[in-house]
Amino acid sequence: MAIVIGSGAGGAATARYLAEAGHDVLMIERGPDVPGKDAGNYYANVDAGVRLMRTFCLGGTTMVSGGNALRCLEGELGSLGIDLADHYAAVEEELEVQMLPDDLLGDGTRRLMDAACRIGLSVHRMPKFINPDLCCKDGLCVFGCPSDARWSAIRFIRKAEEFGARVITERVADEVILRNGEAAGVRCGNEIFWDDRVVLAAGALETPGFLKALSLPTAPLFADTFVSIGGFLPDIYMNRDVPMGAYIPFDGGFILTHYSRPLHALMNEKGISAQPEDIIGMMVKIKDEDYGSVNNTIVKIVSVQDAERLIRGSAFAASILVEAGADPATLVTAPLRGSHPCGTARIGVSVDTNLETAIPGLYVTDASVLPASPGAPPILAIIALARYAAGKMSL
């Protein structure tokens, strides 16, 4: 058997692939099993200087993702001897990664794409794991998809259950139990589940606590820090666009088309009478430095280099917004956030290239293991790594 702590992209993929290979699997998730449309109610964000985003429910943050399907860190992982090419291809096929049809892009996204092209920037449409036939174009991806058009880890969890996996929700895993220096089980309150293979997939803000309790090394925190910027453009209805429908590569990160809800309140505070449908926006997401830590207090600091990247990216985004028709006097920026906490149990520090720790039988398969800030949506990378690791565990 294998015990998997956490049910996001990494945990669900590990459970699914191990169960499919014939292993008995127990998954433990601290949050509840909720309908996709309600997932936005289960954000459990952390104010760490930069506001770090996470979700406590079955399926983890895949339940509130934008459905973005980019490969990332192939070079960095390759230099460590991890070739994910076949795993990426298999995952992309299963998730039915595709470009969305034009009618799902939305007027705001198209205007920003055209504006960026006019000022000489290279614009790309974002590949998505969204079924266009089910998408109702409500702009709610990051608050929970009401039509289940966007893939989430729930699909892998249900597949794991079909192969016999057991899933426990609303149970907090307190510690990993060792016997003779090897993984032996997991304690949840007064109950212990015994097994000689334990997989940590609780997320980059939770996994380090388990490792530190076992005197295992951890690493500083990346977060793909981002800033949202927007302006007034009457009746653009970008709030109903599929989020992040297009992107512009920028300094190792991206400038993306994106409506952000905080922009509405910020405009009203500025005295601008705007409704959500009157706002056009962009996001600047950087490949940030690992100036962050996860201890009793979680801290994420913006380095000088990070600040410079954010400022330069915001200047480009503002130029695009104005070119697209936004009133420059109305531009506002939201506080910094980090949507991809990662790297706190990275390969080469906390785990080896099989994603196993120095404690035999104890593995990590979440964003913690990423060796560098992806600067891009990491869901595909996490799933591909979990698929790779599950194969190693099955040998």
Q: What does 133-180 look like in DSSP terms, one character per residue?
A: TT----S-GGG--TT--B--THHHHHHHHHTT-EEE-S----EEEEET
- Evaluate whether residue 22 is within a structural domain: yes
Count of beta carbons in the 10 Å neighbourhood of residue 78: 12
Residue 314 has pLDDT above 80, yes or no: yes
Residue 395 has pLDDT above 80, yes or no: no
CA–CA gap between residue 395 and residue 387 (Å, rounded): 13
Beta strands 253-257 and 279-285, pairing class: antiparallel
Q: For 87-146, how does the pLDDT look when each residue is reduced to its tens digit (9 = 90+)?
A: 999 999 999 999 999 989 999 999 999 999 999 999 999 999 999 999 999 999 999 999
Q: Are residues 166 and 269 in the same domain?
A: no
- Evaluate whether residue 140 is within a structural domain: no
CA–CA gap between residue 173 and residue 44 (Å, rounded): 17
Query: Domain end: 291, 310, 338, which one?
Result: 338
Q: For 82-103, how does the pLDDT look when each residue is reduced to its tens digit (9 = 90+)?
A: 999 999 999 999 999 999 999 8
**Number of separate domains in the chain:** 2
Q: Are residues 44 and 153 in the same domain?
A: yes
Helix (H) / strand (E) element for 364: namely: strand 362-364
Q: Are residues 291 and 385 in the same domain?
A: no
pTM of the model: 0.97
Q: Are residues 187 and 267 in the same domain?
A: no
Q: How many residues does the chain have?
A: 395
Count of beta carbons in the 10 Å neighbourhood of residue 172: 15
Beta strands 332-333 and 25-28, pairing class: unpaired
Span 308-326, average pLDDT: 98
CA–CA gap between residue 358 and residue 194 (Å, rounded): 19
Closest by CA to 243, choosing from 116, 66, 376, is: 66
Identity (one letter) of the amino acid at 28?
I
Q: Are residues 52 and 195 in the same domain?
A: yes
Q: Are residues 196 and 314 in the same domain?
A: no
Q: Are residues 212 and 314 in the same domain?
A: no
Residue 205 is part of which domain span? 2-96+145-220+341-393
Q: Are residues 48 and 163 in the same domain?
A: yes
Span 363-388, average pLDDT: 98
Q: Are residues 106 and 209 in the same domain?
A: no
Q: What is the CATH number of the domain that holds 381?
A: 3.50.50.60
Residue 283 has pLDDT above 80, yes or no: yes
Q: What is the mean pLDDT of the chain?
A: 97
- Evaluate whether residue 84 is within a structural domain: yes
Q: How confident is the model at residue 339 (pLDDT cuts 50, 70, 90)?
A: very high
Q: What is the CATH number of the domain that holds 316?
A: 3.30.410
Give the chain's count of helices (H) and strands (E): 9, 21
User: Which residue has tokens 């996709």?
Assistant: 36
Kindly state the tokens that stand for 285.
Answer: 């997401």
CA–CA gap between residue 247 and residue 317 (Å, rounded): 11
Identity (one letter) of the amino acid at 142?
V
Q: For 173-227, how does the pLDDT look when each residue is reduced to its tens digit (9 = 90+)?
A: 999 999 999 999 999 999 999 999 999 999 999 999 999 999 999 999 999 999 9
Span 240-269, average pLDDT: 95
Q: Are residues 243 and 327 in the same domain?
A: yes
pLDDT at 1: 83
pLDDT at 252: 86
Span 13-25, average pLDDT: 98
Q: How confident is the model at residue 394 (pLDDT cuts 50, 70, 90)?
A: confident
Question: Which sign, positive or negative, has the C-alpha torsion 370, 17, 89, 152?
Answer: negative
Report the SS3 class of residue 380: helix
Closest by CA to 167, choosing from 32, 9, 26, 55, is: 26
- Evaluate whether residue 139 is within a structural domain: no
